[in-house]
Amino acid sequence: MPRALITGITGQDGSYLTELLLEKGYEVHGMVRRTSSLERSRLVHLYRDSKIYGQRLFLHYADLDDPTTMRRVLMTVEPDELYHLAGQSHVGLSFEIPESTCDLTAMGTLRLLEMVQDMRKKPRFFHAASSEIFGQPAQMPQDENTPFAPVNPYGCAKTFAAHMVTIYRKTFGHFAVNGIMYNHESPRRGENFVTRKICRAAAAIQLGQQKDLLLGDTSAKRDWGYAPDYVRGMWLSLQHATAEDYIFATGKLHSVQDVVETAFAAMNLDWRQHVRKDNRLLRPAEPQRLQGNPAKARRLLNWEVSVTFKQMIEDMTKTEHAQLAGA
């Protein structure tokens, strides 16, 4: 039975990856912070299943800024595959807490790489990089050779981490992969992300639980995909014969306004009656032209997206509606 260790296991991607690996017969271990509430987390359905939790799924307390706990977990578990998904991943928040963002996202990755360097049996290592490393790129779409040019603290921290993964691969021979992940969403997306905020508001307004939705720049465009598709790409990248870097993206751009119109239409609402602009929500620097070219992942991993943008936003909104109606 192959053994995997996931940092950030309680997040959107971590929960989907856990389900995927369990389906494929893995023993799955996850690092969780002591502040994580498992009863309210995305793993609760697995945590409460006695046939899974404590049998094939195990959780360990550790923090990215606490090397002692991380090293102890790594040496105890001795995973075949290590998926590094944890970190401060909210772009807007990174302007308010740049130092802790860099400590967790940049230095946390370096700490893990150093620990892997000391292991007798080195696991295959996946690092969840981000399209934010490209910032405002000169070329569209971006591929694996596009120069890094971050414009926010989160993107800068991810750039450092991605460079370190490449260095450890080339210098020390680690099987280390950067998966450059473009925006990917699902009903499990955090409530502080704009897609979830919009879908939840549309559902709440339809139910009479909310009147208006305040947003910043709705013209901003992103390459948005479906999280379970991207998690499948993570696993595929570690099954390949050689360690490579990959772009995981749809190759299609949609605006925040597209999210608004799709979500409100799913609730049979006219968004014009409810959406208001709030300049306080504008970011100091906004990445532009972030559109990925997933040709390499398609060619080498046979990776494809399975859910359209419209299907994804409708699903997110209807899931919110069902949850709010039953609350």
Tokens of 285: 């620097």
**Cα distances (Å, whole numbers) of residue 131 to 4, 128, 191, 278, 299:** 25, 10, 21, 26, 20
Catalytic residue among 130, 131, 186, 237: 130
Which helix (H) or strand (E) element contains residue 300? helix 295-301
Q: How far apart are CA 29 and CA 18, in angstroms?
A: 9
Catalytic residue among 83, 154, 168, 230: 154
Q: How far apart are CA 19 and CA 98, in angstroms?
A: 32
Say whether 144 is catalytic. no
- Three-state SS letters, 210-257: CCCEEECCCCCEECCEEHHHHHHHHHHHHHCCCCCCEEECCCCCEEHH
Say whether 246 is catalytic. no
Say whether 255 is catalytic. no
Q: How far apart are CA 7 and CA 94, in angstroms?
A: 20
Catalytic residue among 15, 27, 131, 132: 132
What's the chain's Rg over C-alpha atoms? 20
CA-based nearest residue to 13, from 166, 177, 183, 221 = 183
Q: Which residue has the tokens 């370096």?
A: 110
Q: Is 59 helix (H, G, I), strand (E, B) or coil?
A: strand
Work out whether the CA dihedral 42, 103, 163, 88 comes out positive or negative. Answer: positive
Q: Are 283 and 220 in contact (CB under 8 A)?
A: no
Residues that are catalytic:
130, 132, 154
